[in-house]
Structure 1
Amino acid sequence: MDTLRDTLLDNITRYTQSHTDADGLAQTPIDGLVLIRAPTPSGLMYDISRPLVCLVLQGSKQVTAGTHTVSFTAGDSLLIAVDVPTVSQITQASIPAPYLSLALVLDPAVIADLTAQMPEPGATAGMPGRPAFGQPSLHVEPTEPEVADVALRMMRLLDRPAAIAVLQAQLVREMHYWLLAGRHGPAIRRLGWPEGHVQRIARAVAVLRADYAQPIAIERLASVAGMSPSSFHQHFRAVTSLSPLQFQKHLRLIEARRLMLADGASASSAAFKVGYESVSQFTREYSRTFGQPPVRDVRSARQPAA
């Protein structure tokens, strides 16, 4: 395993050296696959993460979702099992040994197809309809050799651009298979239940992501999820740890912060662009979420680069 992990580390190091952007991301031609490189520990990073798996090859990171915080390091895999707001921080990284990881967004369609062919041991009738109450959204486990092996073959495929279109789908499918077969399997299976609560809520989350800047009635979201408004509200909070309104507010605030940091937008223009009608309300909610008013927070976030 050490030799396999070392070879994977070498491949990711080489690729990120020439493909990483200013945000530390190296996008790849393989759908859903991105590499992360950071030469120094980071400040707090805010996001609403999609379901994904992240293999850490070097360095350490901490992620919080709701009240649940996990720390993970080289040799670990993080699973984010649902769409959920996260606060993360790279805690160990240096120029000689930067933080390096590989992340793959999970595909519910692939998961559903695979789970239909590999029944869960001990599954009981009606299990897919059970709610996800009490299930943590973050899971950390040691990276299994089969998962690392597929990751290495994905990295090697990047050196053969002509083969990517032909071979990427089967490698992505194989990665999902080994994740389902391994320690992360029980948590991942819920993503593939088409009428399970996690997947129903995911349909509503997709609407929120697309139309976050517009007013969205709870009845519309409940209809998309195939639930009554009261049942939808209960299950939405159980899956994401937030109410639908809070989730939409996080989407707006995270996008506003990105507009100010990446595009140089003013606080007022960012507020209006993401759907706020009142700059004072935007400032209050921004301060509660990020700990500082917009202008001060953006100045602080840019300070390390000064």
Structure 2
Amino acid sequence: MVEAFRCSGRESPWYTAVDGLILLRAQAEQKQTHLVHKPALCIVVQGVKWTTFGAQRLAYRTGQAMVVSVEMPGASQVIEGGSDAPYLSVVIELDGAIMREVYARMDTPPPSVEGPAAFVMDLDRGLLDCAARAVRLLSEPEAIAMLYPTVMREICYRLLAGPHGAALARMVVGTERDRRVTHALQTLRERYTETIRVDELAGVAGLSPAAFHRKFKAMTGMTPVQFQKQMRLMEARRRMLSRAMSAEVAAYEVGYASPSQFSRDYARLFGAPPRRDIERLRRTGLDA
């Protein structure tokens, strides 16, 4: 699998011809990057990285993977990598439809359990072989459409049948309450520019505001307000970088009524005010 990184000749991240398969390479420790994580298996081929979701920090290294089961904002940083042994990672976004299909066909599907929506796991030979087959398909582009769904089906099976299957089962079925909390999370993600009261989200989840707040934070590591704020700030950053949008316009479009509050929140998350941060990103060529 390491050979694929040597031969790619591409910038990192490399969004490959396989939809949802991304290769990452870093020659050295980097500043943290912020992005909205999709449900995915994030495999470390070489090096060490950490990712934070609110108050939860996950460190994972060679032979391990981070699994994310719901779409949510987070920050990541490579903490071990160099010119002789660069950080290498394979991100495989999980197909929810295939995951549900596999779960329904299992003789003894795992029960759903409550817990964080992201966790670190040790990789076994079966999962590593699946990831290697997925990467090898890049040299056979004509075979991707036919063979990659089969690889994805095996990945989903091995995740559900493995020691962390119960944690992944919530992504597929979960309890009625889990599904309603996840629906409330999706509502907040889709309507992040709006002013949404926690009472309204709690009603979607069928919980009291206090109980919803506890469950949401246990799942994502963030309060609903923190989740929405990160979604707004990441989207504003993306718009300023890709559309040359001013901070004031970006702030307004993502739901901020006060440009000064936006600037304070932005600097707190990204380490610099909007203009200085965007100038740095353009100068260094880094992604937002």
TM bucket, shorter chain: 0.7 to 0.9
Selected match of 2:146 from 166, 188, 204: 166
Deviation of 1:138 (Å): 3.6
CA contact (8 A) 2:21 2:91 kept: yes
Q: CA RMSD in A?
A: 2.8
The reply on whether 1:9 has 2:2 as its aligned counterpart is yes
CA contact (8 A) 1:47 1:254 kept: yes
Q: State the match for 2:108 in structure 1.
A: 119
Q: Secondary structure at 1:114's aligned position in 2?
A: helix
Deviation of 1:73 (Å): 2.1
Q: State the match for 2:19 in structure 1.
A: 31
Aligned length: 284
The separation in 1 between residues aligned to 2:240 and 2:84, in whole angstroms, is 31
CA contact (8 A) 1:76 1:141 kept: yes
CA contact (8 A) 1:83 1:240 kept: no
- Identical-pair percentage: 36
Structure 2: gaps spanning 5 or more residues:
none
Deviation of 1:269 (Å): 2.2
Deviation of 1:174 (Å): 0.7
The separation in 1 between residues aligned to 2:54 and 2:29, in whole angstroms, is 22
CA contact (8 A) 2:94 2:152 kept: no
Q: For residues 56-100 of structure 1, what are the alpha-carbon distances to aligned partners after superposition, in whole Å with 9 as ceiling and x for unaligned?
A: 112221112233323222222122243343221012233443322
Q: For residues 14-40 of structure 1, what are the alpha-carbon distances to aligned partners after superposition, in whole Å with 9 as ceiling and x for unaligned?
A: 23x24x3xxx22112333222212233
Deviation of 1:46 (Å): 1.7
The separation in 1 between residues aligned to 2:118 and 2:130, in whole angstroms, is 22
Q: State the match for 1:182 in structure 2.
A: 162
Q: State the match for 2:92 in structure 1.
A: 104
| CA spacing shift, 1:305–1:246, aligned 2, 3 Å | closer
The separation in 2 between residues aligned to 1:233 and 1:282, in whole angstroms, is 24
Deviation of 1:271 (Å): 1.0
The separation in 2 between residues aligned to 1:196 and 1:29, in whole angstroms, is 37
More displaced 10-residue stretch of structure 1: 198-207 or 71-80: 198-207
Deviation of 1:222 (Å): 4.6
CA contact (8 A) 1:82 1:198 kept: no
| CA spacing shift, 1:303–1:30, aligned 2, 3 Å | closer
Selected match of 1:61 from 45, 49, 52: 49
Q: State the match for 1:5 in structure 2.
A: none
Matched to 1:14, the amino acid is C
Q: Secondary structure at 2:139's aligned position in 1?
A: coil
Q: Secondary structure at 2:19's aligned position in 1?
A: coil
Deviation of 1:102 (Å): 0.8
Q: State the TM-score, normalizing by the size of structure 1.
A: 0.80
The reply on whether 1:73 has 2:61 as its aligned counterpart is yes
The reply on whether 1:248 has 2:228 as its aligned counterpart is yes
Q: State the TM-score, normalizing by the size of structure 2.
A: 0.84
